[in-house]
């Protein structure tokens, strides 16, 4: 069955309190109309225990990647954390389509998203190193980012200071995913009276891009 991984990155659990999740729900509804048999798997990062790269995990990765050690020679703490990392990566790899919903905080995404992405960068599983540089292994999968911004970052003096959407889409592309143009709802804090108009535009774009994504065939070669 086709799977879409819906990843929300906001401590707010209720979509009524999150503009991004409201846009995300519109995206999912439009996608599901085009692909009724899709399985939607939701990941709310603030409800998950996401391994962080601490001393154990840092050394475990080094031992396995370029120090020539086997999993059995790792300490129990290292083994446990590596297994959690791989389990999270396996769950991610198992999907066909991906929707990330994040706010822009202090020029970037919430820190928990970086921790989540750190678990996906596994040599031999999601990318390999070649003579021509790194090569992503998650080819054929489709992804899109829905981001809300209180200010204006698409143009003007803040354009060079947006690192949330820029980092996420670059990271996903590095792993081999085909990333669609992001859906951005910006200026919601600067222009509170225009929020209904801003949201209406974003929801319309979400419906259009959901239909476009659903119509694109995913061909995953392992």
Q: Are 182 and 104 in contact (CB under 8 A)?
A: no
Instruction: Centre a 10 Å sphere on the Cβ of residue 36 and count the other Cβ atoms it contains.
Output: 8
Q: What is the pLDDT of residue 202?
A: 98
pLDDT of residue 140: 93
d(CA 56, CA 173): 28
Give tens-digit pLDDT for 4-55.
999 999 999 888 899 999 999 999 999 999 999 999 999 999 999 999 888 8
What is the tens place of the pLDDT at every residue in 130-149?
A: 999 999 999 999 999 999 99
Q: How far is CA 75 from the centre of its chain?
A: 30
Check residue 115 and give its pLDDT: 96
Q: Which residue in 222, 188, 31, 214 sits closest to 103, CA to CA?
A: 188
pLDDT on residue 221: 60
Over residues 165-222, the pLDDT tens digits come to 999 999 999 999 999 999 999 999 999 999 999 999 999 999 999 999 999 877 776 5
- Is the alpha carbon torsion for 122, 127, 128, 134 positive or negative? negative
Look at residue 148 in the predicted model and tell me its pLDDT.
Answer: 98
Beta strands in the chain (DSSP E): 3-8, 39-44, 97-103, 127-130, 133-136, 142-149, 178-179, 183-186
Contact 98, 177 (CB under 8 A): yes
Q: What is the pLDDT of residue 13?
A: 83
Question: Phi and psi (nearest 5°) for 94?
Answer: -70, -10
Helix (H, G, I), strand (E, B) or coil at 10: coil
pLDDT per residue as tens digits for the range 54-111: 888 887 877 777 776 777 777 888 888 889 999 999 999 999 999 999 999 999 999 9
């Amino acid at each position: 069955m086709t799977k879409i991984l819906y990843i929300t990155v906001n401590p707010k659990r209720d979509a009524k309190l999150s503009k991004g999740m409201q846009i995300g729900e519109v995206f999912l509804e439009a996608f599901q109309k085009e692909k009724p048999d899709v399985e939607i798997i939701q990941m709310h990062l603030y409800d998950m225990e996401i391994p962080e790269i601490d001393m154990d995990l840092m050394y475990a990765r080094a031992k396995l990647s370029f120090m020539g050690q086997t999993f059995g020679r790792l300490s129990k703490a290292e083994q446990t954390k590596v297994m959690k990392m791989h389990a999270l990566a396996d769950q991610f790899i198992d999907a066909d389509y991906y929707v990330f919903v994040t706010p822009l905080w202090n020029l970037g995404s919430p820190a928990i998203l970086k921790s989540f992405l750190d678990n996906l960068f596994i040599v031999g599983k999601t990318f390999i190193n070649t003579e021509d540089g790194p090569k992503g292994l998650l080819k054929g999968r489709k992804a899109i980012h829905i981001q809300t911004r209180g200010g204006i970052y698409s143009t003007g003096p803040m354009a060079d200071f947006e690192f949330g959407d820029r980092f996420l889409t670059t990271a996903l592309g590095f792993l081999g995913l085909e990333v669609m143009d992001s859906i951005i709802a910006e200026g919601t804090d600067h222009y509170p009276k225009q929020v209904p108009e801003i949201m209406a535009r974003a929801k319309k774009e979400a419906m259009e891009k959901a239909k476009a994504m659903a119509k694109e065939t995913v061909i995953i070669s392992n």
